[in-house]
Structure 1
Amino acid sequence: MLSHIVEALTGKNEEENKKKIKGKVVLMKKNVLDFNDFGGSVLDRVHELLGQKVSLQFISSINGDPENKLKGKLGRAAYLEDWITTFTSLTPGDSAFHVTFDWEEEEIGIPGAFIIQNFHHTEFYLKTLTLEDVPGHHGPIHFVCNSWVYPAEKYKTDRVFFTNKTYLPSETPEQLVKYREEELVNLRGSGSGQLEEWDRVYDYAYYNDLGDPDKGSDYARPVLGGSVEYPYPRRGRTGRPPTKTDPNSESRIPLLTSLDIYIPRDERFGHLKMSDFLAYALKSVVQFLLPEFEDLGDSIHNEFDSFEDILQIYEGGFKLPEGPLLKNIFENIPFEMLKELLRSDGEGLLKFPLPQVIKDDKSAWRTDEEFAREMLAGVNPVIISRLQEFPPTSKLDPNLYGDQTSTISGGHIENKLDGLTIDEAIRTNKLFILNHHDALMPYLKRINSTTTKTYASRTLLFLQKDGSLKPLAIELSLPHPDGYQFGAISKVYLPAEHGIDSSIWQLAKAYVAINDSGVHQLISHWLNTHASIEPFVIATNRQLSVLHPIHKLLHPHFRDTMNINAVGRQILINAGGILEATVFPAKYSMEMSAVIYKDWVFTEQGLPADLLKRGMAVEDSNSPHGLRLLIEDYPYAVDGLEIWSAIKTWVQDYCNFYYTSDILVQKDAELQSWWTEVREKGHGDKKNEPWWPKMQTRGELVDSCTTIIWMASALHAAVNFGQYPYAGYLPVRPTLSRRFMPEPGKPEYDELKTNPDKVFLKTITARLQTLLGISLIEILSSHSSDEVYLGQRDALEWTKDVEPLEAFDRFGTKLREVEERIKQMNNDKKWRNRVGPVNVPYTLLYPTSEEGLTGKGIPNSVSI
């Protein structure tokens, strides 16, 4: 009765007396040009007229609900305002909406999370919710969401988003604990069933989707992972049914819908990245239809007749022939794609940008100095090692492979060591080796039974007084014709500058470059970054809540990785895919990478440990990074150690803020579950290895997180973004060889005397494979317009905690200092290996970059 009297006197009812809290929601509506959902967008506008379609409810972080297992009390539902009148751009962009909450302070207090329900017909991308003037709270409250929200009918449980406050599991407010736990359960899924695009499930599977045995035995490939013979990191599970032919192989989706392979929607490329990726990939649409394109061989002259002929694909373009096969290839390609693929004048030309390696000098790449320099400052600077015994020996089982000891003798090199004996050169750390022998030898018989003809190789080099490397000898080896058990048949080639010996030497270097190209793509690039990181992505989302400090630390370094890996499995590394068509191991490529994964050690993936393992550095407590490089002018290592140090300092400052003792590490249930799952599931074929950190100390946590970030950011940048600048001109780094070395008395040897360039070009990658290869690496070497680089975040309010934000600012400052130092060293002629004969400065570990083909920049993640 009293309340009615008050209402009558004041003219206000109880609802009007409630305090109102304003919020701002930033989201991206599903774009009306998002391929196929124009109708859904229109329906959303129509149905919004009939009622409020996006609701938000706060979850208290202070007050529990006794009737709901003491979960945080729920506030009243509030709704997004003005959905219809808020303009949706035809291009990707953000929309800001107001939302007004009835504030019941005694019920909610301080919100720690909110539930959102989408009653529209289409999904939207929820970026942030910001609250101002919350009673009892100083400053705004930020919810950084960055997630696709599908219609509520698609979900079995509510979508919950937490504030940007960070909590260890044991420190989480009691009212949020159940919500935290339930969210992780949802992300793990049931472990069964085919996953749909709106599912948010992170789970593991073997690499059993590379082959397509239903197409025939030529397309069958072994399952990688789960066996002693072919161990492998795990990839994201899709739940697709098995093939009809092989129950252990997962069926594949049709090639032309390849970008729709399942990954959790939040792991998909954003709109800008997708448009950029497609724009670059359009030139390669032909490659996606590789079998049809290969059939064009009869109508295309498939040889480059001269180096000038190769230059035409950059300077004049490559004219595609006309005919029914071309019509079949192009008939299903949308018009907008064709405009990218072909020149707008209708001439049908494929044209590529000029690679940096030949911009300044068209032939400097052929020098011995440049050949050696790229082992230290090229696209694959992670293989070269110090020679510690002579002659080089093999680790292959002699019972299976006989004597594989190198046949390079003292007589081949002892007069080229600046007066040193071989023992003195080894003792003074002057001899180095690029060793592609043991990895390739077991596969050579199978590889060479195809159209490929190649060798296992060892290359010896000498460190000169000016800091540059001089090639001393190249050994090319084949299995003994009577069987592997009889060892290798080897021949040694020596540098020469004139006559046919010079032409033979150029071919020997080409065989080495071919080996290095294959090992680079399969091991340095794919296995050691893309494949090895994906288990960490999956485990982090399954076991570490978004509230967890380590989730917040690592999450930016996983952006787009599952997406690019899924695309890779579908069109690049699959049976008959682009990689098999363009690198020398062909159908044995992925199988060979699995055999090499047997020697993968997590703790050796960090830069200092890798340099020590390869003998490129020694421990030295007086040196800035605790080790001393044995080649002072080793650009990858010099710049890499600066980046490594900056990452480690940042990780240490961050982790020590949340973990004030080792006990907190040991008692962190989520952290321990995460690390157990990384070892036992993600890298399950390595679970019993003794080298795994035990995750019992802050030091182990810091070292492990530093290594993960290094692999995902700087290591990937170093072996990826130089691909087109260095290898876009394929003679520098051919990817396969079609003939063995010419032998005296053979027609090829006589031709080598009269036309060495033609023999060289007939030996290395042919025209069509060249076009395929450079189209691919142009895509892989390009930065998208929305790339986020090391030392950057895509949301300023990614955490509420001040000290980590300050540490992150210091990290960014340090990286800017590294950029300046790289510029200075590249301009200092003292450092011969930083620029080299081709006049291409080493910038692959320069932290930031512009969009496009720049040859620099370290994205946070394996994002392309």
Structure 2
Amino acid sequence: MVAPFLGACTNLERELQNGHIFLADYEALQGVPANTINGKQQYIAAPMCLLWKNPQDKLVPIAIQLSQTPGKNVPIFLPSDSEYDWLLAKIWVRSADFQVHEADAHLLRTHLLAEVFSIATTRQLPMGHPVYKLIIPHLRYTLEINTFARTKLLGPGGFFDQASVTGNGGVPVILKKAMAEVTYSSLCLPDDINGRAMEHVPNYLYRDDGMKIWEAVESFVSNIINYYYTSDVMVKEDPELQAWVAEIFMEGFLNNKSSEVPSFLATKDSVIKYLTMVIFRCSAQHAAVNTAQFDFYSWMPNGPTTMKSPPPSTKGVTTMETILEALPDVSSTTGGINSVWVLSNEPMDKRRLGYYPDERFTEKTPQEFIKKFQYQLSEISKCIQERNKTMHLPYIYLDPSEIENSVSI
């Protein structure tokens, strides 16, 4: 099926062996109940989209199946199909991506995890503890914004109920499935990139910029931890640190040992990696999944919040009229655009990554570490801004000067 799109000098098996084939799989949407909006039934799909890294170093879709289960009423859509068949199939993938992005990548893996970190920090770490001083700036406003989200976005009558196919009960189903798939490696950027075989994909700017920030955060955390902990024994025998990590594992990750999330930290290196993960999740990762939403979702067909018609079961019948009939109605569209506009705007009293106006570390050496961290981030920012000058579509979302210290919107 896909051979014609790969060129005469290769085939699917060879491209698989070369690591050029990728799969965007939205299995998390399988069995999720679909919402009813303004009295009309809405529709959801759990598609699979096959992508190919072509000789021009671009990831392009080469096959789309709009169900997890193949069958005679589940066609595989191809670029060679009619213009409108292929267009509608891609729109369905983008709608699925919107649902998974909001519930899993955005809500679960930044907002809700940051809330777990925040509550455990308040309960288990004294204000004088170096780990408390290190991470508390990265938890600013998180409980407030999550409380707001529960009422205005996720609660009864909120955005998801009014404008999204996953409203009225769908979001908790996705969250439960997604939570079962969360692993420690997926929360740590270097491990996540390797685990998804994305380390060599060209023009992957989330990876390129994110790794620079991860390494800067890791260096900063390493300096602080090695200053206050002179041995691994000190780590093992720190009851407050261990209580903090244990509570996060128990309450946040539900004692799921298969996640490989630590419940005990035995070495300085393990503390450094864990704290780097926490700070990155609450700052850069949230910026990566949040700040771009209006730019990419304000063009509604690029991320429909819902679909009014079921997925096509045959080829050759789709027209522009049937596509327009499938897209969200005006109220759902405006609700979605309004929501992503609000979410993409950081608070007025923004505190960018690495800047800590509330002085907590009073010793000279940690203060020097902070200055070094700020310098590293400023250099990363300069590099990103220079690169963006040459790009038709700049990637600005992981510029440290634009990253908020915490999940605050």
Tell whether the structures are fold-level matches, with TM greater than 0.5: yes
- Structure 1 counterpart SS, 2:300: coil
Check the 8 A contact 2:35/2:165 in 1, yes or no. Answer: no
Equivalent in 249, 252, 277 of residue 707 of structure 1: 277
Check the 8 A contact 1:479/1:488 in 2, yes or no. Answer: no
* 1:676 aligned residue: 246
Distance 1:571 1:690, change over 3 A: closer
| Residue deviations 1:284-341 (CA, integer Å, cap 9, x gap) | xxxxxxxxxxxxxxxxxxxxxxxxxxxxxxxxxxxxxxxxxxxxxxxxxxxxxxxxxx
2:270 and 2:313 map into 1 onto residues whose CA distance is 55
Query: How far off its partner does 1:668 sit?
Result: 1.2
Equivalent in 112, 117, 125 of residue 544 of structure 1: 125
2:344 and 2:130 map into 1 onto residues whose CA distance is 32
Amino acid at match of 1:491: P
* 2:360 aligned residue: 798
- Structure 2 counterpart SS, 1:433: strand
1:435 and 1:591 map into 2 onto residues whose CA distance is 17
Amino acid at match of 1:663: V
1:325-724 matches, within 5 Å, as 412-418=1-7, 419-436=9-26, 438-443=27-32, 446-447=33-34, 451-477=41-67, 490-496=74-80, 501-587=82-168, 588-616=170-198, 629-683=199-253, 685-689=254-258, 691-693=260-262, 694-724=264-294
Distance 1:700 1:745, change over 3 A: closer
Instruction: Mark the runs of 5 or more structure 2 residues left unpaired by the alignment.
Output: none
1:759 aligns with 2:329: no
Query: How far off its partner does 1:798 sit?
Result: 2.5
Name the TM-score, length of structure 2 as normaliser.
0.93
Query: How far off its partner does 1:815 sit?
Result: 0.9
1:159-170 matches, within 5 Å, as none
**Higher helix proportion (structure 1 or 2):** 2
2:397 and 2:233 map into 1 onto residues whose CA distance is 40
Amino acid at match of 1:863: S
- Structure 2 counterpart SS, 1:416: helix
* 1:777 aligned residue: 340
Query: How far off its partner does 1:744 sit?
Result: 6.8
* 1:808 aligned residue: 370
Amino acid at match of 2:131: I
1:707 and 1:646 map into 2 onto residues whose CA distance is 12
Amino acid at match of 2:384: I
Distance 1:690 1:771, change over 3 A: closer
Query: How far off its partner does 1:863 sit?
Result: 0.5
Query: How far off its partner does 1:816 sit?
Result: 1.1
1:734 aligns with 2:279: no
Amino acid at match of 2:245: W
Query: How far off its partner does 1:536 sit?
Result: 1.0
- Structure 2 counterpart SS, 1:472: strand
1:680 and 1:578 map into 2 onto residues whose CA distance is 31
- Structure 2 counterpart SS, 1:495: coil
CA RMSD of aligned residues (A): 2.2
- Structure 2 counterpart SS, 1:574: coil
| Residue deviations 1:651-677 (CA, integer Å, cap 9, x gap) | 001110001110111111211121122
Check the 8 A contact 1:717/1:844 in 2, yes or no. Answer: yes
2:60 and 2:182 map into 1 onto residues whose CA distance is 30
1:509 and 1:807 map into 2 onto residues whose CA distance is 48
Check the 8 A contact 1:478/1:488 in 2, yes or no. Answer: no
Amino acid at match of 2:182: W
* 1:218 aligned residue: none
1:740 and 1:647 map into 2 onto residues whose CA distance is 46
| Residue deviations 1:802-859 (CA, integer Å, cap 9, x gap) | 111111111111111111211232234xxxxxx5xxx4311110111xxxxxxxx210
1:798 and 1:707 map into 2 onto residues whose CA distance is 21
2:59 and 2:257 map into 1 onto residues whose CA distance is 40
1:434 and 1:689 map into 2 onto residues whose CA distance is 23
1:574 and 1:521 map into 2 onto residues whose CA distance is 15
Amino acid at match of 1:553: L
Distance 1:647 1:422, change over 3 A: same
Instruction: Mark the runs of 5 or more structure 1 residues left unpaired by the alignment.
Output: 1-411, 481-486, 617-628, 829-834, 849-856
Name the TM-score, length of structure 1 as normaliser.
0.45
1:814 and 1:548 map into 2 onto residues whose CA distance is 25
- Structure 2 counterpart SS, 1:439: helix
Query: How far off its partner does 1:535 sit?
Result: 1.2
Report how many aligned residue pairs link the two structures.
403
Distance 1:615 1:489, change over 3 A: farther
1:858 aligns with 2:392: no
| Residue deviations 1:197-229 (CA, integer Å, cap 9, x gap) | xxxxxxxxxxxxxxxxxxxxxxxxxxxxxxxxx
1:743 and 1:559 map into 2 onto residues whose CA distance is 48
